[in-house]
Every structure is written in structure tokens, then in C-alpha cells.
Structure 1
Amino acid sequence: MRLRRALALLAGFVIAQAHAAITVIDDSGASVTLGQPAGRVVSLAPHVTELLFAAGGGARIVGAVTYSDYPQEARAIPRVGDNKALDLERIVALHPDLIVVWRHGNAARQMDRLMALGIPIYFSEPKHLDDIATSIDKLGTLLGTQASARAASDAFTRDIARLRARYARRPPVSVFYQVWDDPLMTLNRENVFDEVIGLCGGINVFAAEKPRVPTISTEAVLAANPEAIVTATPGATKPDRPLPALDRWRRWSSLTAVARGNLFGIDGDLINRPTPRLALGAAELCRDLEAARERRPK
């Protein structure tokens, strides 16, 4: 009887432990399992830091990379490197029980060394608007902050739904999104910002190009003749603020975007990071494209 009871207790313990384990699937398709909610997290991308805060886990971040500057509290988190080089010794010294990385933003060689440490790693790379809400929920599960995470993900989903309902069926506006000016680079359809353009009733003129961030020629832009040209800036578009990155286009006065004054700059942090703030960037773009519609000849 004693043996049976002991075995029963042991079996109950094993079952309880199995039920206590937390498992989610990250953006690489791999399973990430923790024995208990993460209490010490290292973030290896600025967008990851924002997602962790949104999920209710900001106070648990013990290390982050350069440019992890939002929200304000993130600026006080100890730095462990940047997207080019990581301080692996410092990461280990922080004793994290979870590391969240950007698969295509952190150096591959260092990623191999990081994975060899045996610390659970979650790869974060939201590729679609819906992925942002999903990422917040998954991180909330790993942190044990599901309620906070769900509130944030639901709010983001509602904001995007409102914009889609208001703008997606408006008359289309052809858009060239300029990622970089030298060399001239843009984005194809395999990027979350392409979805934002469509959300606002826009059409990405280089959606079919390859690779995801293709280099293009000035002639290609002139041939596409977009109705609006958009780029990322340190701040929002202001009537009296010059846009040096877009000045190159002003020499072609017959270009539709130039002729109608549709050269727009949007705060880069709002459109380049797949975080809840992307809803704010989307709202700015939607307003800019609506302005482009209003400037059409009557």
C-alpha cells in the first residue's frame, strides 16, 4: 500500500509538472518551452523590447540592445550589444531564463553560440499585422502575463480594424515607399508595411519586386509614376519641415507625386517596427493618402 501511494504521489507530481510547463511556437516555427513563467528576459531587438512591454513584461527585461528606447523605461535597461555584435558574456552573467531575438537582425554566428548556451530562445519576426497581436499574446504566455497581453493585443487589433473599415475601400493611391535613398531601396509585398499600404487603400508600385528589400533605379520610379512617395523620417510630416531624403524627386516636376505635393515623411519608429505603435504609423499614412486623394484634379 505504501509503495502504491508513493507511486501515485510521484505520478501526480510528474503530471502536475507537465501541466505547469509553458510551450508556445515562435516565428521560426520552433517550440519554446519553459518550466515556469520567465522572470529574467533578455531582448535582442528594439521591436522585441516594445512587444515585451506591451505584453506586461517590461519589468522583467534585464538586458536589451541599443535603440531599445520605447517606452521611456526601456532606456534604463542595461545594454548587451546591438544588431551587429552581442556581448555574450554579459548576457550569460544576467542569468536569463528566456532570450528573445530577431532572427534576421542578429549576427548568425553569434546566434549559433547563443543557442549553444542552452537558454530558451524565442525568435521574433512578425511578418503580418495579425502577427503583432499574436506575438504579444505568445510573449504574455511565456511571461505569465496573459491578461495584460490580451488587453494590448485586442487594442491593437481594434485600431487596425477601424483603419481598415475606414480606408481600405477608398479610391486606390499608387505608392512608392522609399526605404533608403543611396542606393535607392524599397519594400516588396513580403513585408508588414505593404499590408499597411493596402490597409490605407494604397497600392505598392514595387510589390512584385524581389527580394524583400529590392534595390531599384530612378528610372523605375519615374516609369511607375506613383501618386505618393513616402519615406521614414525622425518625426512626422510637417508642412514647414523639409524632407531631404525625398528632395531628389523635386527635379522631376511632372512626376505625379511631386506635381501634387504628395511627398510624405512618417516617423520611422512608427512604421519600421512591428509593434503596437504601427497602428499609429498606419493612421498617419492613411491620413497622408487621403490628402493625396483630395489633391486630385476635380
Structure 2
Amino acid sequence: MNWLTTVFRATGGAGRTRGGRSVRVAAVLAALLVAVPLAGTPAVAKPAPIVGGENQTDADGLAAVLINGNYQCTGSIVDNYWVLTARHCLFSGSTRIPDSQITVRVKSINWNTGGGVVQVATSRVRTNHDIAMLKLNRSANAQPVRLPTATTTVGATTYAFGWGRTCVGCAPSAVLRRATQQVTHINGYTDLHGGRAIRTLGLNGNVCFGDSGGPLFKLVDGLRYQVGVLSWGDSTCGGAGDYWATVPDSRDWILNVMATV
């Protein structure tokens, strides 16, 4: 029995849900998006890029979240001392991963080389939203992303970034990738922990295993605003729909964490 079969049986089957009717299924898909252990490797996260899309030549505003030096999730730099990612990225099952095991690599298109690795000093997770903040022990010396005050609109063109697989069975690629996606819903779906979710469909690419916590950007006057954090999605990486924690709903919480922690 392979690892995927074990997970799906333990949770009672697979399928996507509308609203908050099946957090159990969403938890399966979110766990898959964090990482899929490869044959002969421990069950610690491995990298994996976006299906389709295109390679990136810079990693402005992006961070690779590592656990004990292994790739775990994607994150975004919202302040030189703070990285935004998904809440579920900081858990192994129901156990919170200690901050001492978490680092981030910044200013590199590769998750495992280049740029600089920064230790996480402390972290915070939001209740009932798939949102988390990592405080760094030194400045990332990067250009932070912008946080919008209002959510995106249905039909908007957006951009997903991450170090996820290029296909379900592909070998991992360490290069950051981007996929263009269209917003199909801004209400009626929830993220893994019950917050409002944005739903997107891929235009030239879809998220896959390893992209959790990554940003969904919308361009306004040529500037990137982060409207979502990847929470869960289609377990086949086939473009049946991706679900993002809505960043504007957590903006006040994010700003308060940065101001008080």
C-alpha cells in the first residue's frame, strides 16, 4: 500500500467540497500539497514545481520554507522580518513543528541553493484561517509584497508561485515557477481551517504537491498584491480547482502580529 492510498483510506475517501461541509477531505488535499514522500526517502517534505506555467528568473518577495533543511512549503515576504505562509505548513499531523526546526531561504529561485537561509525566531498561526506568520531572526533584505485591503474579483487574472511538482509523478524541480490563473469564486468556499477561500482555475498552469503556503498575486498598476495563500486543491494537479485563504480577511491580524510580536 503506498502513502497516498494510506492517507485517503484513513480519512474516508477523496473529493472536493463546497463551503465547509468536508474539512476532512480538504485536510487530505492540503497535506498532499505540502509534500509527498518519494520512494526511499523519509516522510519529511520534498520539493515539488507548478504544473505548466514557466520558470522564474528571480524570487522577489518569495521564500522557501524549510523544515530541518528540507523543503516544506512556499511563503511570501510581507516585511523584512516576516514571512506569510499557510497554517497547516507548520504542523506534522496534529503536532506543531518547533520553531527551532524552521528556516527560510530567500533571494534565490532555488529552494536548496543560493540566496541566504534565515532562522525563524518565532511563529504565529491564526485560528479558523489557514494563515501563519514566521518571524525571522534577521532581516531578509528583500522587497516585501503588498497586502490589499479588499479581495480580488471573479474573472480576475492572478499569478500563483511555488516550488511544487511539474506533474504528479515527476521528479522534483528546485526552480521557482509561476502559473497564471483565473478567479472563479470569492465566496462559497472555505480554506482548510474554515476561513473564506478564493477559488481559481489554471490558465497556463496549476498548483501541485509542494506549493502550499504560496502566494496568489494580482497586478494593480504593475504592482503585485497578495490576495491569497494556497490552502488546498485538486489532488491530481489536473486543474479541477485551487483554494486560497483570503489575505484581505486576515490583513488586520497580520499587521497586528507584525506590530506586537
Q: Same fold judged by TM-score > 0.5?
A: no
Highest Rg: 1 or 2? 1
Q: TM-score, normalised by structure 1?
A: 0.21
* Structure that is richer in strand per residue: 2
* Structure that is richer in helix per residue: 1
Of structures 1 and 2, the one scoring higher in RCO (CA 8 A, sep 6+) is 2
Q: TM-score, normalised by structure 2?
A: 0.23
